[in-house]
Amino acid sequence: MYASVNLVKSTNTKMESKKLKYKKLDGISEKQLSEHHDVLYVGYVNKVAAIDKALKSVNLEGVNATFSDLRELKIEETFAVNGVKLHEAYFDNLGGNGLPSGKITELIKRDFGSIDSWKKEFMACGLAARGWVVLAFDLDTKKLRNVVCDLHNQGGVWNCVSLLVLDVYEHAYFIDFATARAKYIDVFMKNIDWADVNSRLKKFKVE
Ligand SMILES: [Fe+2]
């Protein structure tokens, strides 16, 4: 069973690539962002379309869980769709001044004790993860948690709303930071758009 971080922000029903709301960020170059967004993210969007197309004519006879065309397409569908959703959330939650504000700060303080304690764990998760770190709201426990996810479609926790998404795959930072992942995480934190994070609380009616 593959668990994924459900309810990642997505405004697309039929997936089409979304434009970046900025060209570069404080500490992240246009080149780094364009490779990440225009090549990698758009690549996931195109793959979702290709998989959708292939699913229309896939053979549903003789399907099994070791190998079948349907299985392979459905597994890669979760990888590609989650790749699109996580990247959209990631790009959208950047472009701000990094200063926590609004309702999310109350929830963070309630569930982590302080902004600093949350930040310390979130940033450490950025070093522990192989793919993603998501500040998520668990709809079952009604609490925030920092979720680590190694692949788009492996890891994560069901029934969670993703509020803040950090991409720690090397492609997200290697052009600008090489192996200095911690430096990239610092820069990420300084560029968070907390207004966007708060808009997700509103969108999913989280409290
Ligand atoms: Fe990425």
- Report pLDDT digits (tens) over 147-171: 999 998 887 777 789 999 999 999 9
- What's the CA-to-centroid distance between 89 and ligand 1, angstroms? 11
The better pLDDT of the pair 10, 84 is held by 84
Query: If DSSP codes are grouped into helix, strand and coil, which group holds residue 35?
Result: helix
pLDDT (0 to 100) of residue 15 = 76
pLDDT (0 to 100) of residue 4 = 44
Q: How many CB atoms lie within 10 A of CB 128?
A: 12
- What's the CA-to-centroid distance between 171 and ligand 1, angstroms? 6
Residue owning tokens 């690539």: 17
- What's the CA-to-centroid distance between 100 and ligand 1, angstroms? 23
- What's the CA-to-centroid distance between 62 and ligand 1, angstroms? 35
Residues with CB under 5 A from ligand 1 (ion): 167, 169, 172
pLDDT (0 to 100) of residue 10 = 45
Residues 164-193 have pLDDT tens digits of 999 999 999 999 999 999 999 999 999 999
- What's the CA-to-centroid distance between 194 and ligand 1, angstroms? 20
Residue owning tokens 């962002």: 33
Residues 77-132 have pLDDT tens digits of 999 999 999 999 999 999 999 999 999 999 999 999 999 999 999 999 999 999 99
Kindly report the pTM of this predicted structure: 0.86
CA–CA dist 114, 60 (Å, integer): 52
Residues 27-79 have pLDDT tens digits of 999 999 999 999 999 999 999 999 999 999 999 998 888 999 999 999 999 99
DSSP string, 46-100: HHHHHHHHHHHT---TT--SSS-HHHHHHHHHHHHHHHHHHHHHHHHTBSS----
- Contact between 5 and 134 under an 8 Å Cβ cutoff? The reply is yes
pLDDT over threshold 80, residue 3:
no
pLDDT (0 to 100) of residue 1 = 31
The better pLDDT of the pair 207, 47 is held by 47
pLDDT (0 to 100) of residue 6 = 46
